[in-house]
């Protein structure tokens, strides 16, 4: 298989929202594995919008500001189970379709050991932390459905096949369409192709009106294993660093169906195209941070997350099934063709992140905090793993499609003795440049929660509602129509912590 075929495979893998200027799926792969929505936050940090960079004393700090672990004055163990429910609306050609997904997971589990020096000045304590948490998850189902009277996915297969001889057709796309009689060569021209919808119509005006249905199902996550060391200097200055091992596990299934429900298209009955993609990989990351407490009421925080390098392995396959009204000479009216199993190894550099934070502790009444996060998405980059493939065009597309993005998070907590009430909001800016189809693909999260704390243990509950909008292109040459999608994700977390 040549590299051009690999790129086609990745295009077909997801058909995620794209500007038609950046058709290679690789750009979207890079973004998918670089956008982190903090799926494994503790209930306390979740309910405060994730704005914890200047506060500390929370297990989530290992992935936000490593210096915050030094704020713990006692050793602690905590565990956070999480429930997520995601519902999606997709509007395509004036018709809306709905889908949903839900699952339980262990969002965060960790422990911090505190070594106290016995001094109130100088180095007061050194803390050592370990945690495992879900950094982001990929659980989502989406359905798109409508009647299309002017285009078909078969047009894409035929366009991509044009100029190729039969032995050059891709085994994962247009080659399958040819094997199942959905596209064929034009009479007298062995390198020009037409579809089953066009060859009996007034060519080049195709006979459309078929029902289209796209079902996309994804699951998996990025899991972090964190090792943290941090220190407290005079209760005024906190420093820390976290070494992280990331494990990526992504599974994708896409089924695209087109049917002649009203029996109006000559001889054509239906076709189903199914594509599977599984991606696994690991990466090593490092982050460092500091918190400065110039006066008791104020805390200032800063953290830097260095770029990471994933070693990724893709496995993929596809299948097409077709059906016709008229049997052939051998009596067959249905056909099926399946691709071989494909594999590809590559590397992905994810961008650096900077977090600046400010927090106010108003005596025993409560706290207010805000985080500003900058992510350098143009810094994403693909590399080969020994096959000498040149990713330069793809990396240039990344730089032209994406921009550096700001995320803003804010939260507050009010104390009523041992009871704590919390709320927060987070805004995740769109990573796309202004010329891209998804320039407005931002996300907003609203959260709230409650907690109860004693000297020996604490119990917290948090709820967050994340909304996100995107435009989704079903097949790249269809520049007239795309689906407008909206998703709402409900997340409920509960954390129990024990001090020792």
Mean pLDDT, range 63-92, rounded to an integer = 96
pLDDT score at 136: 92
Domain ranges of the chain: 3-151+208-499
For 61: left if phi > 0, alpha if psi spans -120 to 50, otherwise beta; the answer is: alpha
Per residue in 270-293, pLDDT tens? 999 999 999 999 999 999 999 999
Q: Are 336 and 319 in contact (CB under 8 A)?
A: yes
| Residue of 322, 330, 320 whose CA lies nearest to 267 | 322
What is the predicted pLDDT for the residue at 15? Answer: 40
Per-residue model confidence (pLDDT) at position 23: 31
pLDDT in tens, 295-340: 999 999 999 999 999 999 999 999 999 999 988 888 889 999 999 9
Cα-to-chain-centroid distance, residue 253: 15
pLDDT attached to residue 172? 92
Lowest mean pLDDT among 364-373, 418-427, 457-466, 470-479: 470-479
Enter the CATH code of domain 3-151+208-499: 2.40.160.60
Q: Cis bond leading into 204, ω under 30°? A: yes
Closest by Cα among 448, 456, 415 to 78: 456
Tally the residues of the chain: 500
Asked if the model's pLDDT at residue 201 lies above 60, the reply is no
For residue 212, the number of C-alpha atoms closer than 13 Å in the C-beta half-sphere is 24
Residues 6+ apart with CB under 8 A from 295: none
Res. 97 pLDDT band, cuts 50 70 90: very high
pLDDT at 26: 60
Residue ranges of alpha helices (H) inside 87-223 are 153-161, 174-179
pLDDT value, residue 3: 47
The pLDDT value given to residue 40? 81
Average pLDDT of span 6-23: 39
Distance between CA atoms of 480 and 478, rounded to whole angstroms? 6
Average pLDDT over residues 435-443: 91
Tokens of 11: 């295009």
Predicted local distance difference test score (pLDDT) of residue 33: 93
Q: Which helix (H) or strand (E) holds 140?
A: strand 140-148
User: CA gyration radius for the chain?
Assistant: 26
φ/ψ of residue 499, rounded to 5 = -95, 145
Confidence of residue 200 (pLDDT cuts 50, 70, 90): low
pTM: predicted TM-score of the whole model, two decimal places: 0.89
State what percent of residues in the chain have pLDDT above 70: 92
Confidence bin at 205 (pLDDT 50/70/90): very low
pLDDT digits (tens, 9 = 90+) for 406-417: 999 999 999 999
pLDDT of residue 386: 86
Contact 402/18 with Cβ under 8 angstroms?
Answer: no
Highest mean pLDDT, choosing among 148-152, 474-478, 479-483: 148-152
Return the pLDDT at 479.
55
pLDDT value at position 215?
97
Confidence of residue 206 (pLDDT cuts 50, 70, 90): low
**Interior CA angle at 82 toward 241 and 105, to 5°?**
85
Q: What is the average per-residue pLDDT within 244-268?
A: 93
pLDDT-based confidence at residue 480 (cuts at 50, 70, 90): low
Distances (CA, A) of 195 to 29, 151, 267, 319, 326: 30, 11, 12, 18, 16
- Three-state secondary structure call for residue 374: strand
DSSP β-ladder status, 483-499 and 457-472: antiparallel
DSSP 66: G
């Amino acid at each position: 298989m040549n590299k051009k075929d690999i790129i086609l495979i990745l295009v077909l893998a997801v058909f995620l929202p794209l500007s038609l200027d950046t058709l290679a799926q690789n750009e979207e792969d890079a973004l998918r594995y670089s956008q982190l929505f903090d799926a494994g936050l503790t209930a306390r940090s979740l309910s405060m919008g994730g704005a914890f960079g200047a506060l500390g004393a929370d297990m989530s700090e290992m992935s936000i500001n490593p210096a915050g672990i030094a704020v713990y004055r006692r050793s602690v163990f905590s565990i956070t189970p999480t429930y997520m429910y995601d519902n999606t609306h997709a509007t395509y050609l004036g018709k809306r379709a709905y889908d949903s997904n839900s699952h339980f997971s262990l969002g965060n589990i960790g422990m911090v050991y505190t070594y106290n020096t016995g001094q109130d000045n100088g180095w007061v304590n050194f803390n050592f932390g370990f945690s495992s948490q879900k950094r982001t998850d990929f659980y989502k189902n989406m359905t798109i459905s409508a009647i299309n009277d002017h285009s078909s996915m078969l047009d894409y297969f035929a366009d991509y096949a044009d100029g190729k001889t039969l032995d050059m057709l891709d085994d994962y796309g247009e080659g399958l369409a040819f094997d199942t009689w959905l596209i064929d060569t034009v009479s007298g021209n062995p390198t020009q192709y037409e579809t089953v919808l066009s060859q009996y119509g007034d060519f080049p005006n195709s006979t459309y009106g078929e029902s289209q249905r796209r079902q996309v199902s994804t699951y998996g996550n990025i899991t972090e294993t964190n090792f943290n060391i941090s220190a407290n200097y005079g209760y005024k200055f906190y420093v820390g660093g976290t070494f992280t091992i990331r494990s990526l596990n992504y599974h994708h299934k896409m089924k695209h169906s087109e049917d002649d429900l009203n029996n109006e298209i000559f001889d054509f009955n239906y076709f189903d195209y199914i594509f599977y993609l599984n991606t696994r990989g690991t990466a090593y990351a490092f982050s460092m941070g500091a918190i400065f407490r110039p006066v008791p009421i104020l805390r200032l925080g800063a953290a830097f997350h260095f770029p990471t390098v994933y070693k990724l392995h893709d496995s993929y396959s596809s299948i097409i099934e077709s059906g016709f009204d008229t049997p052939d000479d051998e009596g067959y009216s249905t056909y099926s063709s399946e691709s071989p199993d494909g594999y590809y190894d590559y590397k992905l550099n994810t961008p650096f992140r900077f977090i600046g934070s400010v927090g106010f502790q108003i005596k025993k009444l409560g706290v207010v905090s805000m985080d500003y996060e900058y992510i350098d998405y143009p810094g994403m980059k693909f590399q080969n793993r020994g096959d000498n493939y040149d990713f330069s065009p793809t990396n240039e597309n990344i730089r032209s499609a994406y921009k550096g993005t700001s995320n803003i998070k804010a939260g507050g907590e009010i104390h009523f003795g041992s009871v704590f009430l919390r709320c927060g909001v987070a805004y995740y800016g769109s990573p796309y440049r202004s010329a891209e189809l998804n320039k407005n693909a931002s996300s907003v999260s609203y959260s709230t929660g409650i907690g109860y704390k004693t000297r020996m243990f604490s119990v917290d509950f948090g709820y967050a509602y994340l909304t996100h909008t995107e435009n989704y292109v079903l097949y790249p040459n269809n520049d007239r129509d795309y689906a407008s999608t909206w998703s709402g994700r409900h997340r409920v977390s509960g954390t129990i912590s024990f001090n020792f």
